[in-house]
Amino acid sequence: MPHSSPRYARFAAVAGAAAVLLVSQGTAHAGDPGSIPAGNPQHFINFTYDIPGKFSEYAYTVQVGTPLPTEAIYYAHYVYANGGGFYSGLQPHPNGKAGVRFSFFGGGATPLHPNCHPGADAGRGVTCAIDDLEYAAGRKYTITAKKTSDDAGLSYTGTIKDLSTGEERTIGAWRTPPGFTGFYNYADAFIEKFAGVRTCADIPAVTVSYTDVKADGKPLAFKAYTHKGTDEPGKGIYTCSNVSDYTVTTPAPGSYTVESSVGSS
């Protein structure tokens, strides 16, 4: 399924790692989200967290509770770098399958796996994907990005493991551009609707939990944060970002909870 990344802009800030995100419709705002036209894709929740950019391994476990009939929602993390970055995440489909993405954004990267091809969202980079992952709402999957260093430079391999079956699959692998030394020390967690959004009120209820978000085995830390929706639309892929009310809580190290509502009464 097509989708978009956060590109090279930073999102509304919150710090963190490991999550449960809950979105439901029905909260009234000064304005009506149904009157705000929304192109695709649309980021309706996003926040920033700290990560050691020169990690050797970055991993997190994702558990989506959103019912299978909901299509075109992407649950992802994006780690920044000079001129771009990489993201990974899960795209459930209503047919019992899910897509998984592991993509690098920016010029000079090289595909290293049959699941990968040059280009990322019609721009420079590498996209790696599988679209036939066996999927069920409530099942847990661990996504891992692992670094390798050799004479040719740095490369990263993405894998996904179904914790209910123990099956692990390679999403893909790519070599970073020449001169690349590591990612930045911050990243974004985001949820986006990448198809079928007509207005900001069309964003559906979603539920997703992240646990065991770690860099080199150490849990990342999140900060509590509250975002109050307004009637002022954002711009571009952030047009719908202001209409959501959401609260980030931190129940444990390496985990966070986001509860959010979208829409009008």
Q: Three-state SS for 200? A: helix
- Do the beta carbons of residue 133 and residue 97 sit within 8 Å? yes
Rg of the chain over CA atoms, in angstroms?
A: 17
Tell whether the model's pLDDT for residue 7 goes beyond 80. Answer: no
Q: In the prediction, which pLDDT does 26 show?
A: 37
**Full set of structural domains in the chain with CATH:** 19-262 (2.60.120)
Instruction: State the pTM of this model.
Output: 0.85
* pLDDT of amino acid 101: 96
Average pLDDT of every residue of the chain:
83
Contact 117, 110 (CB under 8 A): no
Q: How many residues comprise the chain?
A: 265
Cα distance between residue 215 and residue 256, in whole Å:
16
Distance CA 92, CA 1 (A): 10
pLDDT in tens, 187-239: 999 988 888 788 888 887 778 889 999 999 999 988 888 888 777 788 888 88
As a whole number of angstroms, the distance between CA 88 and CA 104 comes to 9
| pLDDT value of residue 98 | 95
